[in-house]
A and B are shown apart, each in its own frame.
Chain A
């Protein structure tokens, strides 16, 4: 690339040819406002808020789409630019009804930020879309047509990145509207019949929406109410609820961003402290549940691989490749699009269901609390987990293990709303006994993490020729290390490639693995399913770390930083394999011999959806 010289606002700059004005300005610390620009998506240049003036060109140019050229003289803040930019902001504001008081996007809202910065009169024009519909997808995601500013990011992620094709653009001009596929009237497209499509609740639309029109269906107000109503005095006077929060592996490295921390800052202690401050009686770490998941899943994998030895409960003997089941959007995908593959899904529940199930059984018994009086709130990086939490298959003794799911964003909103100074909180440790976890659990938030964790335990099982991990009190699960099977890291599963493939040897047994990083990358793996023994799929690019409930913005670069933090937690952990988590083993030991209850806590079923 050639170096060229140009001027922005009178400043002489040199830059590489081929960049856009937006990129060059950004590289040089000149901020150009924008609403429809996202570094991971194609440039659409439809908001026209990033207009700049190029001397000797007739019209204004959009900085996001205009390549730089030698000798350009660019003005980003001339009177002409200001007039146009401010007017476009006002026009866009008029598309967006203001429900700021209860909008969890309020503290991060770009529209409000620009309104303040550029002194925009946000009610210059009357609201144009106040009669638009709100489309709700299960209990997970919603698209509020009254707030949509027509940037089309949701279309790009749903159709081109995730390749779900659930969201459509219907009508034209002022009638243009984002609608679910079922409502699509076809205009102004031509011909082409669309295949049936359904939402998988991944929430990528929400993660990329600059205006909060696509959002999680919020449940923070229900949690807020529960916190208000909880019984004041432990140990839990009759009728009062015990409020328990649990937080997922990837929350701790992303939530800091909501408060201005650098990307990838590890904030486990702050999360626990904030939840306690909000009023939760107990705070547990879903990493504990992840270790349970790893153990259950690795046992099933080994059973399936060693054909002829069935897993003791619910397993499908010999069906390969085995597919991971932690990602609820992926489960919905299978149930709707590929029900023929349901027998391939591991029967293991997901980490949040494992830990919540144990909270309401194992821990409840220990604490002598009726499980009906426990209210669990799961803090997740995900919108689809809200859907998972409501699945009837997951009930234990007729009760839901999880009462509410909040996204990372919802938790951050609650913390801000309650005026809690996140950084000033004294870090706290999560409660025991469901607080202990291995490094393998930490990386569940990363694409490839579930695979890597399961392989660590599967290798131990194969090397020690066991079907299940050792639950006896004094036997050391570390034995295998001495036998030369001490590998911990499976780097083949790591990284941000769309599909990661490898053949790994576990105690002499060759296992063909694939990790699918984002549901949009699944097709080539479907095309040669028989080439694999074990496949991990995470619907969101990057894994949970890039989940639909994570802080906005989330970009590839930010995802990388969050991933690094997770691997740092793993590398620094004193215990790095799930089956070495003594508390997890203790919980499993408690379940042993509990028959139906054990099956209810550990395993699940799937149902075809249409």
Chain B
């Protein structure tokens, strides 16, 4: 059993959903949770997160389009490893439309069920514990942690949730073909938008240069997605493209501060699930404060800090990241 686990450990696989958790560690914690259960109570589940709800990230769709067999293989490996009851492929609505037949033919009689992400579930519908609620037919919003899904996930059973790219990598690792590459989504004000497979230790600068996307105009970038990614200026590019591996290029001429922040805030006001006060109320008030002619910066910053410090889930905390980093790295630098 530990054969695959030691391979994953050796390859140092990191989850590709965005949080960057070590894959072996997550698998092990599900296995441990199962160990503590009695013999007749060892049910567990596997979930492949193919929600890809973060704007500016397209790599999971690309992987499913081109390497679906690998992904399915990775899921099967996880099912075997855990003797899981069943796996759910939690699939973005658009991907389902496009790839349903292909995926079904690959799954055949494997214990994998395609669960289409409800179209009205929005951004939060991709958060891992919200996925559990969706599959169970509950209101789609994050669950309280602890307990973590690894110990109490679907129907209270230990549940392994990994991203599409992670299962793809697992399959490669199992076959001894993992070459330390990852899929980068590049978008925004650049000539060659798309998904690129490149070594996983490249800096943002190199990625942009190797894909002929390095801008010749004043710009800033956002790493990790169009709404939750961190913003950096042109001098800060010697860093890996972490998280879900997305790089968005913003032309400073086309994107003034007010416009960018307003877009983010509108997005988050619409997508907040509504559970906690810092996110539901806080983001709404952030937008209010921001749209005023004279912005109360102290209140604005307090609301942002409160989001990062006191939100219920990681998405609430993430909402503060782009705004804080845009101010710190781009507009603070400039002024």
Given the known interface contacts A92-B281, A95-B281, A187-B120, the answer about A173 and B274 at a Cβ–Cβ threshold of 8 Å is yes
| B137 contacts chain A at the CB level, 8 A cutoff | yes
Chain B interface size range: 35 or more
- A188 to B121, Cβ gap below 8 A? yes
| B285 touching A125, Cβ below 8 Å | yes
Task: Give A125's nearest chain B residue, CB to CB.
Answer: B285
Which residue of A is nearest B278, CB measured?
A48
Q: How far is the CA of A60 from the CA of B273 in the complex (A)?
A: 20
Whether B309 and A59, one on each chain, are in contact in the complex, defined by CB atoms closer than 8 angstroms, is: yes
* B contact residues around A187 at 8 Å (CB): 120
Which of A82-90, A366-374, A437-445, A598-606 has 4 or more CB atoms under 8 Å from chain B?
A: A82-90
Q: Are A91 and B277 in contact (CB under 8 A)?
A: yes
**Shortest Cβ distance from B276 into chain A, in angstroms?**
5
Evaluate contact between A188 and B305: CB separation under 8 angstroms: no
- Known contacts A43-B144, A46-B312, A174-B269; is A84 also within 8 Å of B305 by CB? yes
Given contacts A46-B275, A171-B274, A84 and B306 within 8 Å (CB-CB): yes
Q: When the two chains form the complex, which single residue of A44, A60, A128 contacts B284, counting CB atoms closer than 8 Å?
A: A128
Known A-B contacts A190-B118, A192-B137; the reply to A91 vs B285 at CB < 8 A is yes
Q: How far is the CB of A52 from chain B (nearest CB, A)?
A: 10
Measured in the bound complex, the distance between the Cα atoms of B281 and A91 in whole Å is: 6
Are the C-beta atoms of A60 and B137 separated by less than 8 Å?
Answer: no
A62 to chain B: which residues have CB within 8 Å?
310
Instruction: Let me know if A191 is at the binding interface, CB within 8 A.
Output: yes
Whether B194 sits at the interface, judged by CB under 8 Å, is no
A131 at the interface (CB under 8 A from B): no
The residue on B at minimum CB distance from A155 is B139
| B256-289 Cβ-contact flags toward A at 8 Å (1 or 0) | 0000000000000111111111101110110010
Q: Contact partner of B122 among A46, A65, A188, CB < 8 A? A: A188
User: Does residue B308 face the partner (Cβ distance < 8 Å to A)?
Assistant: yes
Contact of B310 among A44, A84, A176, A191 (CB under 8 A): A84
Q: Chain A nearest CB: distance from B219 CB in Å?
A: 30
B303 at interface by CB-CB < 8 Å: yes
Asked if A91 and B278 sit within 8 Å, CB to CB, the answer is yes
Check if A213 is an interface residue, CB within 8 A of chain B.
no
Name the residue of chain B whose CB is nearest to the CB of A83.
B302
Partner of A173, one of B270, B303, B311: B270
In the bound complex, residues from chain A placing their C-beta under 8 Å from that of B124 are: 172
Q: How far is the CA of A88 from the CA of B118 in the complex (A)?
A: 31
Interface pair B306/A87, CB less than 8 Å apart: yes
Q: Is B140 an interface residue (CB 8 A)?
A: yes
Q: How far is A51 from B310 in the complex, measured between Cα atoms in Å?
A: 7
A67 within 8 A of B: yes
A60-B310, A171-B274, A176-B274 are known contacts; what are 11 more A-B pairs with Cβ within 8 Å?
A46-B312, A51-B309, A83-B302, A87-B303, A92-B277, A150-B274, A150-B277, A172-B141, A173-B269, A176-B280, A188-B139
Question: Top 8 A-B pairs ranked by shortest CB distance?
Answer: A91-B281, A176-B274, A173-B272, A173-B274, A84-B310, A48-B310, A60-B309, A88-B277
A residues lining the B interface (CB < 8 Å): 43-49, 51, 59-60, 62, 65, 67, 80, 83-84, 87-88, 91-92, 94-95, 125, 128, 150, 169, 171-176, 187-192
Q: List 14 A-B contacts (CB under 8 A).
A: A46-B312, A84-B309, A91-B277, A91-B282, A95-B281, A169-B139, A171-B274, A172-B122, A172-B124, A174-B272, A176-B280, A188-B140, A189-B137, A191-B137
